């Protein structure tokens, strides 16, 4: 893997979906699964293949029981773990989420980590969505819909939702941004929209997705699944002969 634009990669890792009353941050950014030929892994033995089969059966059983509430479960995992950007600035919720992912991977002791990561991402997103439904009466979390992407750490309020109405799960206390901050946010949003319009053409309409992460603070954390080419990530095996 070659990173051709580290500055853009880090900038995208510090974004959030624009949702009224939500101060957000990205806990992890990972590549979206790409079209590629199956890997020939000669190190896989019969025992490893058997454990992978048991892992998939367990995940499929849980997904069937949850009746489609858990994302993923396709023929190939929705994430490409050849590159991951973690949030390492001593934030407990991001650390606990990372431990959940690594714990699941280690538990199965298989040769690939993408199925385990997809499963944990799905669980966090599912429970984050349930909490939004239970506490705020929403039919679906807004981060699952097409939504603007803005710099993280800001809080937004539209004309239909004022400072007295919060979308936070565990905290109802927050302050609205100043007029100057709102103007700056709008400028940044417009710049981001223009950039996304360009990427939209390059990626054929696919700009990845957001997933929720369980949080114990007034900050809603997210996982961002991004097409590698949208952040300047090049896979050398795509050009192998």
Give me the pLDDT at residue 146, please: 67
Q: Which residue has the tokens 């997210």?
A: 222
Give me the pLDDT at residue 195, please: 66
In tens, the pLDDT along 169-205 reads: 444 444 455 666 666 766 776 676 666 656 655 555 5
Give percent of the chain with pLDDT exceeding 90.
30
Mean pLDDT on 106-125: 92
Give me the pLDDT at residue 133, please: 83
Tokens of residue 232, six digits: 């300047």
Q: pLDDT tier at 112 (50, 70, 90 boundaries)?
A: confident
The long-range contacts involving 186-194, CB below 8 angstroms and separated by at least 24 positions, are 188/150, 188/151, 189/18, 189/148, 189/150, 192/15, 192/148, 192/149, 192/150, 193/148
Alpha-carbon distance 125 to 213, whole Å? 6
Mean pLDDT on 22-44: 76
- For the chain, the first-to-last Cα distance in angstroms comes to 16
Mean pLDDT on 235-240: 79
Mean pLDDT of the chain: 79
In tens, the pLDDT along 140-152 reads: 787 887 677 778 8
Cβ neighbour number for residue 218 with a 10 Å cutoff: 16
Answer yes or no: is pLDDT of 57 > 80.
yes
Answer yes or no: is pLDDT of 125 > 70.
yes
In tens, the pLDDT along 196-227 reads: 656 655 555 556 789 999 988 888 899 999 99
Alpha-carbon distance 218 to 68, whole Å? 28
Answer yes or no: is pLDDT of 165 > 50.
no
H-helix segments, 17-68: 46-65
The least confident of 73-82, 106-115, 129-138, 220-229 is 129-138
């Amino acid at each position: 893997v070659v990173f051709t634009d580290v500055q853009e990669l880090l900038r995208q890792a510090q974004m959030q979906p624009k949702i009224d009353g939500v101060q957000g941050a990205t806990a992890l950014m990972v590549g979206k699964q790409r079209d590629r030929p199956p890997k020939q892994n000669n190190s896989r033995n019969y025992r490893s293949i058997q454990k992978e089969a048991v892992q998939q059966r367990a995940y499929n059983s849980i997904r069937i029981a949850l009746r489609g509430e858990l994302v993923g479960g396709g023929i190939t995992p929705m994430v490409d773990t050849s590159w991951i950007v973690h949030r390492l600035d001593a934030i407990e919720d991001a650390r606990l989420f990372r431990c959940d992912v690594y714990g699941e991977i280690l538990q199965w002791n298989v040769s690939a980590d993408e199925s385990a990561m997809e499963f944990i991402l799905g669980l966090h997103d599912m429970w984050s969505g349930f909490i939004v439904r239970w506490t705020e009466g929403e039919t679906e979390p807004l981060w699952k819909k097409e939504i603007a992407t803005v710099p993280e750490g800001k809080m937004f309020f539209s004309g239909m939702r004022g400072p007295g109405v919060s979308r936070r799960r565990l905290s109802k206390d927050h302050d609205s941004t100043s007029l100057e901050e709102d103007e700056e946010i709008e400028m940044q949003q417009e710049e981001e929209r223009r950039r996304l319009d360009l990427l939209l053409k390059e990626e054929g309409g696919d700009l990845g997705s957001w997933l929720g992460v369980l949080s114990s603070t007034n900050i809603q954390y997210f996982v961002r699944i991004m097409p590698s080419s949208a952040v300047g990530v090049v896979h050398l095996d795509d050009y192998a002969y």
